[in-house]
Amino acid sequence: MSLWQDFNAGIVKENPVLRIMIGLCPVLAVSTNAINALGMSLAVAFVLIGSNLVVAAIRKIIPDQIRIPIFIIIISTFVTVCDYIMQAYFPALYTSLGVFVPLIVVNCIILGRAEAFAYKNPVLNSVLDGVGMSLGFTLALVSIGMIREFLGMGAVFGHQLINPAATALLMILPPGAFLTIGFLMAGLNKLENKVQ
Amino acid sequence: MDINKLIKQSLVLLLVCVISAGLLSGVYLITKDKIDNNAQIAYKQAMEDVLPEKGKAVTCEAQGYSAPIQLLVGVGENGKVVGIKVLSQRETPGLGANITDLKFLKQFIGKSAKDSIEAKQDIDAITGATISTKAVCKAVRKALGKE
């Protein structure tokens, strides 16, 4: 596979959220507004690209039988670094993301990419895979966040656009997340059928 | 299993752990001051918000709809509430989460242990969020030593 394909795969064709449907827990929980969604995406991108890089770099010295514990140590190191940096420099964002920052450790996208891609591919390909997957995750999460924030609170990125009284509260409650993801998946499938 | 293989695996795992621990201690040391500083600023800000005059600030909590609601209540020297702030809550967005509205919280200012501080009596409940309203009332009563 070429570098371009490795990069491109995660954005639409193998979009982690809308196609592979992994890492849905944080997607459902923090997509109540666009700013939280963007903050979460950036944190996941940092961890995913970092762990892909390190796993690919040391893949030849990792014994096969203990690869999962090693992946987890690498991933949790990046998550903790990210957690400290957020607490120190972005305290407001840290407060609103709450428990979901430490929970990036168990985000299936990251362990999934380490196991399925970075462990078998060179550093450059793995980094590009991480960047592509992060972009795909960001696109999906921010779209869901914007849709839910607009329909549920009448705002986008915190800017009030329509009267909040005219909005459907349901959209910022958990069912709103499932509905939005469902409609986005359906839309993406329809689009792909048309292209083919 | 081959003993050499076992030793090799343990060593690799140990090495990864050591590097990881070293890296984390470094980041911890760099960010520690800043994090402590942020916590202090947030605490100071909260104190100033709830306690503009002399008195004491009390943290108190009561079980809300989905998780405990934590409040910081400023009680003046005359035993009246002078300021109130929600420190943490996980109420339903759009319903119970409205307990952080200033309009709602203002109702508690000036209350003392003599008042009943009960939803629907001297406190107007938030529409659709009676449980959250009751929880805040209960927490304030605790702060004033009524419960």
Q: Which residues of A touch B34 (CB under 8 A)?
A: 88-89
pLDDT in tens, B62-77: 999 888 999 999 998 8
Overall pTM > 0.95: no
Helix segments in chain B, DSSP class H: 3-50, 102-105, 130-143
pLDDT for the residue numbered A1? 56
Percent of chain A exceeding pLDDT 70 equals 99
Check A84 against B28: CB less than 8 A apart: yes
Listed as ranges, residues in chain A with pLDDT below 50 are none
Sheet harboring B55-63: ordered strands across? B55-63, B68-76, B81-88
Q: What is the CA A132 to chain-centroid distance, rounded?
A: 11
Q: Inform me whether the C-beta atom of residue A32 falls under 8 Å from chain B C-beta atoms.
A: yes
pLDDT for the residue numbered B1? 64
Check B17 against A85: CB less than 8 A apart: no
Residue type (1 letter), A10: G
Nearest-neighbour CA in chain B from A102: distance (Å): 14
pLDDT for the residue numbered A157? 87
3-state secondary structure at position B59: strand
Helix segments in chain A, DSSP class H: 3-9, 24-30, 34-57, 67-89, 91-97, 108-116, 123-153, 174-195
Q: Which residues of B touch A82 (CB under 8 A)?
A: none
Residue of B nearest to A60 (CA): B12
pLDDT in tens, B111-122: 988 888 988 888
Check B27 against A80: CB less than 8 A apart: yes
- ipTM reported for the complex, 2 dp: 0.77
Check B12 against A173: CB less than 8 A apart: no
pLDDT for the residue numbered A152? 86
B93 pLDDT more than 80: no
Domain locations along chain A = 3-145
Question: CA distances (Å), A184 to each of A22, A52, B92, in order?
Answer: 15, 28, 25
User: What is A122-152 written as a DSSP string?
Assistant: -HHHHHHHHHHHHHHHHHHHHHHHHHHHHHH
B2 pLDDT more than 70: yes
Cα–Cα distance between A10 and A49 in angstroms, integer?
Answer: 13
B12 pLDDT more than 80: yes
Q: Inform me whether the C-beta atom of residue B78 falls under 8 Å from chain A C-beta atoms.
A: no
pLDDT in tens, A117-168: 999 999 999 999 999 999 999 999 999 999 999 998 888 888 888 887 778 8
Residue A22 in tokens: 């992994």
Percent of chain B exceeding pLDDT 70 equals 98
Check A88 against B23: CB less than 8 A apart: no
